[in-house]
Amino acid sequence: MNDIIEYSKKHRVGVGMFNIVNLEFARAIFDASQETGLPVMLGMPERFILNYFDGEVMAAACRKMIEKSKTLVNIHLDHGKSFDGVMYALKAGFSSVMFDGSALSYEENVRQTAEIVKIAHAMDVSVEGELGYVGQVGDEMTEDRFTSPEQAEDFVGRTGVDALAVAIGNQHGQYKGTPKLDFERLKAIRSKVDCGLVLHGGSGIADEDFVEAIRCGINKVNIYTAEDLAAKACVREHFEEYKQYLDFTKGLTGAVKEVVTRHMQLFASLKE
């Protein structure tokens, strides 16, 4: 992830992290990266690994694709909520991990994140932390739940994280209406820390707000819901048309790839 963050800073682009649910998603994301020439991150949330697939097997398949890559591609644990979940990802060969301690008290978030950073860095794996409350669509979002610039500076200094997920009005899931991002807060955070900055809850944010967020210092943007919606729409549209399930594998790859490519190109619209 550190190489990808440096690429982002050097070229003024946001790099997309797109979550995968199966090999069709992984193939779509990888192919979009190869065709655009832009770096990308293959994300696997801890809850996906616990409930839907074997993360070790999926990581091994992704590594085989990455061996052929012409671009920077990494495998990232998204929203690791537990110490055991992060250790699983480290053993499975993920090249970066997120520990999400945002639901903990501030001091406990600092303590646990710093411990994970120490272990992961010893294995040459970079770490993303989270500060503030991103939450789910429908949650009440007030400024007291947003990331404090001063606290961000303290958190990064005490934990040594390579990237920090921030709360500036963004939420996970499908937005109801257009979210209002606090760009002044984002600029203040960027002025306090030099690590990578991450925008979670990317699906549904207006195109111009993505560009402004990247202009204000965001390096990594997380996308999943837009992929999910595209895949479900593909199934509905072609349910009667496709004669065998194998047709769906190609259709799903194409639908997800289209969404990923559009976002990647948008995030790179400031590219220098």
Q: Which residues are catalytic, by number?
A: 78
Q: What are the DSSP calls for 107-127, one per residue?
A: HHHHHHHHHHHHHHHHTT-EE
Tokens of 218: 């965001």
d(CA 146, CA 130): 11
List beta partners, residue 77.
Answer: 44, 97
List beta partners, residue 127.
Answer: 97
d(CA 95, CA 93): 6
Q: Are strands 163-166 and 40-45 parallel, antiparallel or unpaired?
A: unpaired
Q: What are the DSSP calls for 146-182, one per residue?
A: SPPHHHHHHHHHHH--SEEEE-SS--BS--SS-----
Q: Are 63 and 75 in contact (CB under 8 A)?
A: yes
Neighbours of 2 (CB within 10 A): 17
H, E, C per residue of 3-26: HHHHHHHHHCCCEEEEECCCHHHH
